[in-house]
Amino acid sequence: MGFINRNYYLEEPVRAFLFLMRELNVTQAQAQKIVGTGRLIVNGEVWKRSGQPIQGHIAIKMFVPQAKGIKPIFTTPDFGIFDKPSGILVHPTTRRTPYSLLDEMRHIYGKDANAIHRLDMETSGLLLVSRNKESERRLKLMFEDRGVQKSYLAWVRGRIDEPFDVDVPLKQNNDFSTVKLKMLVHPEGKKAFTHFEPVEYDSVHDATLVHAFPYTGRQHQIRVHLFHVKHPIIGDPIYGVPTEIAIKYLDKELSEEERLYYMGAKRLLLHAQTLRFAYQGVTYHFSSKFDFESLKEMIIKPEKRFNPYSQG
């Protein structure tokens, strides 16, 4: 990635948003967003007033995509589908993020390309990407109207023999004494419903491959629902591990040995397997070709990994 300074010198004062519109060929709303996100620097200081004149040494922080060769598996004039590897952010979290899938989207499709939904960094699988602002609006509205059917594969702890549903509400945890990013099962939370079907049980690893069908789109929904029924996803660094270990992971202080012992695998074993939706009169159905089932070989044997339920 990504963010470089484009430098200018202005002898005469010009309103900030007009300068940005002229130099970058953007709309007034886009110019105001550049100012609002701290990407306009005037004489060494972040400029926050888009309607005020600027003069002197000007720098604009610009996103310049740096591709590494990840290609979409399908493309139309309005959208593309990527099969995201685990370990890659969809969007940069800060201007210091060295690389994200946004680099590939913008490199291939241009500056208006954007991801339509979320995948956590360690989650792999299918991601829908818009190619222009109009298709972004339509596709996001489609998601909001629940016009997209998604399914996931996950390797989970323990044996599951029968299909089951989890219908419990989820709420973001605002208790700063615990992990801030955790979602909680809470009666005041938003409705969340997931259907699960077992695919395969592996007795050597005491792990079940499950197919998950989320009917709502809450953050961490599948992860929390599986943890709630005491079958957390193997490799999950937040749900199913002690709080202090989750904090060490988030602070990037967890050793490889701790990761394998407490989480049971070096990555979250969750994969976005299918996407199905209708767009502009055409029904699309995508299925990932990645051999997720084979990842059971990276699972640590049960006698060598942490058991979150060993003490009741």
145 alpha carbon, distance to own chain's centre: 20
Do 275 and 128 touch, CB atoms closer than 8 A?
yes
Mean pLDDT of 168-195: 86
Domains and CATH numbers, the chain: 2-64 (3.10.290.10), 66-145 (3.30.2350.10), 148-312 (3.30.2350.10)
Mean pLDDT of 138-142: 96
**Any catalytic annotation for residue 251?**
no
Q: Which two tokens stand for residue 301?
A: 């044997």
Per-residue pLDDT tens over the stretch 71-111: 999 999 999 999 999 999 999 887 677 889 999 999 999 98
Binned at pLDDT 50, 70 and 90, residue 238 comes out as very high
Residues shown for the chain: 312
| For residue 188, pLDDT beyond 50 | yes
Mean pLDDT of 168-179: 81
CA dist 22 and 183 (Å) reads 44
- Of 78, 120, 206, 251, the catalytic one is 120
CA dist 191 and 171 (Å) reads 9
Binned at pLDDT 50, 70 and 90, residue 193 comes out as very high
Residue 69, pLDDT score:
92
98 vs 70, more confident = 70
Per-residue pLDDT tens over the stretch 261-289: 999 999 999 999 999 999 999 999 999 99
SS3 68: coil
Number of Cβ within 10 Å of residue 310's Cβ equals 6
Taking all residues of the chain, what is their mean pLDDT, rounded to a whole number?
93
Cα-based angle 37, 22, 77 (whole degrees, multiple of 5): 75
The single-letter code of the amino acid at 33 is K
Mean pLDDT of 134-153: 95
Per-residue pLDDT tens over the stretch 2-43: 678 889 999 999 999 999 999 988 899 989 999 998 999 999
- Please report, rounded to a whole number, the percentage of residues in the chain having pLDDT higher than 90: 82
Could you say which DSSP state residue 117 is in? S
Question: What are the phi and psi torsion angles at 3 (to 5°)?
Answer: -100, 120
The widest CA-to-CA distance across the chain, in whole angstroms, is: 74
| For residue 170, pLDDT beyond 90 | yes
Residue 312, pLDDT score:
47
Residue 177, pLDDT score:
67
Residue 3, pLDDT score:
74
